[in-house]
Chains A and B, each alone.
Chain A
């Protein structure tokens, strides 16, 4: 049974936008799509560390603002010719609130 943390209201994130959550292991970007789905990814592009939270959200993908790498927000996998992945975190919306899996607080091993 995973523990969920209430981090914000869905309305706090603009559609096709993102907001950042600070955690002891760095920032997590929480995205909202045009149809109100929510995804949470580490806010760091594996290419050069770009803040994915500042990227353009299209469909369920986000494009890194620094060098245009595109990531599938559901899997964290880089799309197209690029390879690499960004960590994803379980997140969902319930009663208009965004709930994030507590494991983002736990110490992660540096893989």
Chain B
């Protein structure tokens, strides 16, 4: 007996379902198919190749009207369904009703449109159907500008497609890296780099504020004030299940239409499948589970027992030249372990996530050939203990012998190239070592191997270990931390030579061994990037040590000490009054004069910090940076103004130097002293940089210390004018900022590079001018009062919730 089946929606899921149904139960159902789009079923996944011009619409049609007619389906295309009468089992179409014995709702999903100002302007499209695709194709003529909001799978495919047609495309993405639901930051970084190479501009951490335009879209404005011109805006921020019909019919709907394992809704005569359903709390956007649902529903309608079990899914991005693969669960978590493989030179990154003896996730970029093999291991839940050592190398190494890390290098013939930059082969390095080169520096000096970009340093060391055996001490200059094999010096050099401008970029291209670094390397990397790329880099607060993050010194009991700046140690009665008021207002338990001629307020509670800063700002005082790896104080004596021995205005010069240098971040703290005569009351000769004023001018000396080590400064240069003092010192500080290892104070750095070399740099007029210019540039960005910035947002400093009252209820 033929029964009546009505299907609403001719998408990929319903197409596949009908195919299975006609195979399994031919003639059993009399089918009527509604579709709001005036056409049959096409492969929505292939819209990207249509957009980029690689395919035409005709090539992506899967079930056209002829196919449906051949199967005896009554097609009501271009007709919307206006309602479902469950009691009478009737579907009301715009052009008349149809009775059903069974109904399938396959309405898919609707693109999510953020209701930003301007979102209804002509020229704003989603990326969902052929109409959107055609609109983008039309707007993508060469020279046109387009903005894509959303750096997920769909947004990037839209961007790549329009860019391929010649449009100038910008992608705005709210999160810190692209495709964050499928990729970790390292893979996201590689993807961003590849997309940027093909001319697509990427703006991560970008919150869209408004879409601008009068008659049609003209530009997109971000919260941070950035504006991107746009002839077309594609909003690809997500989709949500299309549940309006089901809602109106009174079916149970959560985020999607609730279905059981047989795809049955809360009404036993009504089924649903595809992106509009919610099964066991889960929504579905990728095609594999939708096809599984189609199979289950066809079986159910044919009267065969079947149950839907959602399986892991894998993602691939359909952008030519960007090879990425992501499957399973890649988040870090308790009991989870990572195996990470990075080949920076080839732009390859692979990460496997293990839980116990099983593989649960895989993220790959650059080389995804083994993706299906890993995916199979994820789905099968196979025990991988035995293969763990070689797992990341994929099926080619599966079950092979344990790899000796040196074996691959040992097997290389003498003519194998080790250093690509300088064309140095293994034999040359071995000869140099046998000739007496026993350190990496010596090998570098003789052969130039690893002396340029340095990514082959590890290989060179392996050749040394093989040649020298136990005689090789690889750790003469230890690596930065356990996250990397590179030394601080190598990392600094490579950041500059390879143009690395973000922490994920450094970690990827330099082969970091951990996922997110550690508390030791992150602050160092943050500093190196600030110092090397003041204009491009954005400070990462979460990679700052607590004192710099909170702009105050943490004390043993978790309170903070606050030190306002006191230029050259000079203050006024108004400032002292403001300090006294703050002490009373915030019940500061201790006031102390520091060794650097300032006043320290000890024992301030964290939540009071924004208010006390605000008070000091209003009294004209700024942060003293007493917590900073940066310029701290310039200690002075009274000089010619009052002292009968003073030869110059040491107080005035100290204030001038402090105003020049404050706010600059440095590898470690920097303290200055300016003494008005050789009696040296400001103790300038045990500071990082000291100036002693004499009748003939100014003696500048450097590399003193009065901390763990006590050092007297050594003379750098003697100059005649205050202007020259300022020039020499800012050049010297910049040299230190650009060259030194994080946490090394000036004396340690000078011990390494040699004072003569440093003097040559700042004495040479051209080099000095370059250093001064770079320092000034950095100061235009970083010479700001951090207190002012944070005092404006006090909420972030208070506890996020207080449950003490709730407990009392």
A-side interface residues toward B, CB under 8 Å? 5, 7-8, 12-17, 19-24, 27, 30, 33-37, 48-51, 54-61, 63, 65-66, 68, 70, 72, 74-75, 104-105
Q: How far is the CA of A70 from the CA of B522 in the complex (A)?
A: 15
- Of all chain B residues, the one with the shortest Cβ separation from A64 is B519
- Which residues of B come within 8 Å of A, CB atoms? 176, 180, 184-185, 330-335, 514-519, 522-523, 541-543, 545-546, 549-550, 554, 556-558, 799-804, 806-808
CB of B646, distance to nearest CB on chain A (Å): 43
Residues of chain B within 8 A (CB-CB) of A19 are 799-800
Complex Cα distance, B798 from A20, in Å, reads: 8
Decide yes or no: A16 and B519 within 8 Å by CB, A65-B546, A105-B806 being known contacts: no
- Provide the residues of chain B in CB contact with A60, threshold 8 Å: 332-334
Determine the chain A residues whose CB is within 8 A of the CB of B334 once the complex forms: 60, 72, 74-75
Contact at B800–A13, with CB atoms within 8 Å? yes
Consensus secondary structure, chain B interface: loop
CA distance A50 to B808 in the complex (A): 27
- Pick the contact of A59 from B515, B554, B802 — CB < 8 Å? B515
From B335, B522, B802, B804, contact of A58 by CB (8 A) = B522
8 Å CB contact of B546 from A12, A54, A75: A54
Contact call B516/A58, Cβ cutoff below 8 A: yes
A58→B332 contact, CB < 8 A = no
How far is the CB of B532 from the nearest CB of chain A, in Å?
21
Which A residue's beta carbon lies closest to that of B330?
A35
What are 16 A-B interface contacts by the 8 Å CB criterion?
Answer: A17-B541, A19-B799, A21-B799, A24-B803, A24-B804, A36-B331, A51-B554, A55-B519, A56-B519, A56-B545, A58-B514, A65-B545, A66-B554, A70-B518, A72-B334, A75-B334
A17 near B799: Cβ-Cβ < 8 Å: no
Give every chain A residue within 8 A of B330 (Cβ-Cβ). 35
- Chain A contacts of B799 at CB under 8 A? 19-22, 27
Which residue of chain B lies nearest to A88 when distances are taken between CB atoms in the complex?
A: B334
Contacts A20-B799, A65-B545, A105-B803 given; does A59 touch B332 at CB 8 Å: yes
Inter-chain contact B554/A37, CB cutoff 8 Å = no
Which residues of B sit under 8 angstroms from A7, Cβ to Cβ?
A: 800-801, 803
Residue from the list B184, B185, B542, B554 in contact with A14, Cβ < 8 A:
B542
Question: B176 near A54 (CB under 8 angstroms)?
Answer: no
Contacts of B549 in A (CB 8 A): 54
B795 to chain A: closest residue by CB: A12
Question: Which chain B residue has the least Cβ–Cβ distance from A7?
Answer: B801
Report the nearest B residue to A24, measured CB to CB. B807
Known: A8-B801, A60-B333, A75-B334. Contact between A15 and B176, CB under 8 A? Answer: yes
| A-B interface pairs (CB < 8 A), number | 111
Chain A residues whose CB sits within 8 angstroms of the CB of B556 once the complex forms: 48-49, 66
| B519 lies within 8 A of A49 (CB) | no
Q: Are B806 and A56 in contact (CB under 8 A)?
A: no
* Alpha-carbon distance between A63 and B803 when the two chains are bound, in angstroms: 26
Taking the closest CB of chain B, its distance from the CB of A85, in whole angstroms, is: 14
Q: Complex: how many Å from CA A38 to CA B184?
A: 17
Distance in Å: Cβ of B460 to nearest Cβ of chain A: 29
Inter-subunit contact A22/B801 (CB<8 Å): yes
The reply to whether A22 and B802 form a contact with Cβ atoms under 8 Å apart is: yes
Give the Cβ gap from A89 to chain B, nearest Cβ, in Å: 11
Residue contact B518 to A63, C-beta cutoff 8 Å: yes
Residue on A with the closest CB to B504?
Answer: A34
Q: Is A37 in contact with B800, judged by CB distance below 8 angstroms?
A: no
By the criterion CB–CB under 8 Å, are B518 and A58 in contact?
Answer: yes
Given contacts A17-B542, A37-B333, A74-B334, contact A58 B801 (CB under 8 A): no
Contacts of A57 in B (CB 8 A): 516, 542
Select one of A22, A37, A66 contacting B332, CB under 8 A: A37
Q: Is the CB of B541 within 8 A of A105?
A: no
| Chain B positions within 8 Å of A24 at CB level | 803-804, 807-808
Are A54 and B807 in touch, CB under 8 angstroms? Answer: no
Top 4 A-B pairs, shortest CB-CB distance: A74-B334, A63-B519, A19-B800, A16-B542
Partner of B803, one of A14, A51, A104: A104
Kindly list 4 other residue pairs between chains A and B, CB separation below 8 angstroms, not including A33-B332, A54-B550. Answer: A22-B802, A24-B808, A56-B518, A58-B518
Partner of B184, one of A35, A55, A70: A35
Residues of A near B519 (CB, < 8 A) are 55-56, 58, 63, 68, 70
Docked pose: A57 CA to B545 CA in angstroms = 11
Within 8 Å CB of B184, what residues of A? 35
Chain A residues, Cβ within 8 Å of B516: 16, 33-34, 57-59
Interfacial chain A residues near B185, Cβ < 8 Å: 34
B554 & A35 in contact (Cβ 8 Å cutoff): no
A12 surroundings in chain B (CB, below 8 A): 800
Bound Cα distance A57, B543 (Å): 8
Give CA–CA (A35, B329) in the complex, Å.
Answer: 11
Q: How far is the CB of B798 from chain A (nearest CB, A)?
A: 8
Q: Which residues from chain B contact A56 at a C-beta distance below 8 Å?
A: 518-519, 522-523, 542-543, 545
With contacts A16-B516, A37-B331, A57-B542 known, is A5 near B806, CB below 8 A? yes
State the CA gap A34–B515 with chains docked (Å): 10
A50 touches B333 (CB 8 A): no
CB distance from A45 to the nearest CB of B (A): 10
Instruction: Write the chain A residue with the least CB distance to B542.
Output: A16
A35 touches B542 (CB 8 A): no
**Contact assessment for B333 and A74 in the assembled complex, using a CB-CB cutoff below 8 Å:** yes
With contact pairs A35-B332, A58-B514, A74-B335 given, residues A30 and B558 touching in the complex (Cβ less than 8 Å): no
Alpha-carbon distance between A51 and B517 when the two chains are bound, in angstroms: 21
CA of A8 to CA of B545, assembled, Å: 25
Q: Determine whether the beta carbon of A21 is less than 8 Å from that of B800.
A: yes
A55: which B residues are within 8 A, CB to CB? 519, 546
Which chain B positions have C-beta within 8 A of A70?
A: 518-519
Is A23's CB under 8 angstroms from B803's CB? yes
The smallest beta-carbon distance between B589 and chain A, in angstroms, is 18
Shortest Cβ distance from residue B644 to the other chain A in the assembled complex, whole angstroms: 48
B541 in complex: contacting residue of A14, A37, A65, CB < 8 Å: A14
Q: Which of B176, B523, B803 contacts A21 (CB 8 A)?
A: B803
Which of A23, A30, A61 interacts with B807 by CB under 8 Å?
A23
B residues in contact with A8, CB < 8 Å? 800-801
**With A and B bound together, what is the CA distance between A12 and B800 in angstroms?**
8
CB distance from B354 to the nearest CB of A (A): 14
User: Closest CB of chain A to B186's CB: distance in Å?
Assistant: 11
Distance from B144 Cβ to chain A, minimum over Cβ atoms (Å): 35
Task: Knowing A54-B550, A63-B519 are in contact, say whether A5-B803 is a contact too (CB < 8 A).
Answer: yes
Across the interface, name the chain A residue whose C-beta is closest to B517: A58
Closest to A33 in B: B332
Distance to closest chain B CB from A81 (angstroms): 13
Residues of A within 8 Å of B176, CB to CB, are: 15, 34
The residue from A21, A35, A49, A72 contacting B331, defined by CB atoms under 8 A apart: A35
Nearest chain A CB to B415's CB is how many angstroms away?
42
Q: How far is the CB of A59 from chain B (nearest CB, A)?
A: 5
CB distance from A40 to the nearest CB of B (A): 11
Is there an interface contact between B807 and A21, defined as CB atoms closer than 8 Å? Answer: no
Specify which of A22, A54, A104 is in contact with B554 (CB 8 Å cutoff). A54
Residues of A within 8 A of B554 (CB): 51, 54, 65-66
Closest chain B CB from A28 CB (angstroms): 8
- State the CA gap A90–B515 with chains docked (Å): 24
Cα separation A29 to B550 with both chains bound (whole Å): 16
CA of A12 to CA of B806, assembled, Å: 20
What residues of chain B lie closer than 8 Å to A105, measured between beta carbons?
Answer: 803, 806-807
Nearest B-chain residue to A48, judged by Cβ: B556
Whole-angstrom CA separation of A51 from B802 in the bound complex: 17
- Nearest CB of chain A from residue B522's CB, rounded to whole Å: 6
Residue of A20, A21, A24, A56 most packed against chain B (CB within 10 A): A56
Best-surrounded residue of A14, A22, A55, A75 (most CB of chain B within 10 A): A22
With a cutoff of 8 Å between Cβ atoms, the chain A residues found around residue B557 in the complex are 49
Residues of the A chain whose Cβ atoms lie less than 8 Å from the Cβ of B804: 22-24
The answer on a CB contact under 8 Å between B542 and A15 is: yes
Residues of B within 8 A of A75 (CB): 334
CB closest residue in chain B, given A39: B334
Q: In the assembly, what is the distance between CA of A63 and CA of B808, in Å? A: 33
